[in-house]
């Protein structure tokens, strides 16, 4: 922990590069010269302990070129710190929303915006959770709206998934699309099918399709 404190200048705000819902993410250079991302969970956030365990269980087992690698962790008293691979070219959030990032500017990550209702109730990380998250990502890509920031609809604030369900219920599929998306050549039926697939992914736990089924539906849509 002492090395991590020194590498982050005692977790200086100048080194914050992201907000992971239950803790901040810092850019740091370890004593061996390697540049890493340090995620320090908020010790006062009860759910942060569960997220720490979930990330250890999932990221610790994964090795994929498009998924950040977990390099290690540190536990000291109530403090929980994850040492992650530093992604030089930024996060998925930055690519979707075309935002820039510097060492002095936080990048909003909004992890909880992708989490299903059962996760908040203490459910473990499962493939069904991943399907839900993928559905949220589908909405995010098509609408350019952030899952972790509320929107105003009918005079009150709602989250992306609530807004999307209401818009779809009112048959306002085309209005949901990112205003920067070229509309020429777009098939309204294909747009509806895209959002139908995203909606399936974000159903209640037992109603979600397997990821293989989702892939099949998307392949059929793109053929």
Read off the DSSP letter of residue 13: G
Annotation: binding site for ATP = 40
Identify the bridge partners of residue 79 per DSSP, sorted by sequence position. 76
Determine the Cα–Cα distance for residues 75 and 47; give it in Å rounded to an integer.
Answer: 16
- Can you say whether residue 29 is alpha, beta or left, with left for phi > 0 and alpha for psi between -120 and 50 degrees? beta
C-beta of residue 59 within 8 angstroms of C-beta of residue 69: yes
C-beta of residue 197 within 8 angstroms of C-beta of residue 221: yes
Determine the Cα–Cα distance for residues 51 and 151; give it in Å rounded to an integer.
Answer: 26
Annotation: binding site = 40
C-beta of residue 96 within 8 angstroms of C-beta of residue 141: yes
């Amino acid at each position: 922990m002492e090395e991590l404190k020194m590498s982050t200048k005692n977790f200086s705000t100048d080194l914050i590069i992201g907000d992971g819902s239950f803790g901040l993410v810092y850019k740091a250079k370890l004593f061996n010269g390697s540049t890493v991302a340090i995620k320090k969970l908020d010790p006062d956030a009860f759910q942060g302990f569960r997220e720490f365990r979930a990330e250890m269980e999932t990221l610790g087992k994964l090795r994929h070129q498009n998924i950040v690698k977990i390099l290690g962790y540190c536990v000291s008293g109530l403090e929980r710190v994850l040492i992650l691979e530093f992604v030089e070219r930024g996060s998925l959030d930055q690519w979707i929303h075309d935002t820039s990032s510097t060492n002095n500017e936080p990048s909003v990550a909004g992890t909880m915006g992708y989490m299903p209702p059962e996760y908040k109730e203490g459910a473990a990380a499962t493939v069904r959770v991943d399907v839900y998250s993928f559905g949220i990502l589908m909405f995010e890509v098509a609408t350019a709206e952030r899952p972790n920031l509320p929107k105003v609809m009918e005079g009150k604030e709602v989250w992306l998934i609530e807004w999307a369900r209401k818009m779809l219920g009112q048959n306002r599929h085309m209005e949901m699309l990112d205003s920067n998306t070229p509309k020429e050549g777009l098939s309204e039926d294909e747009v509806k099918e895209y959002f139908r697939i995203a909606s399936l992914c974000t159903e209640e736990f037992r109603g979600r399709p397997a990821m293989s089924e989702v892939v099949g539906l998307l392949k059929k849509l793109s053929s």
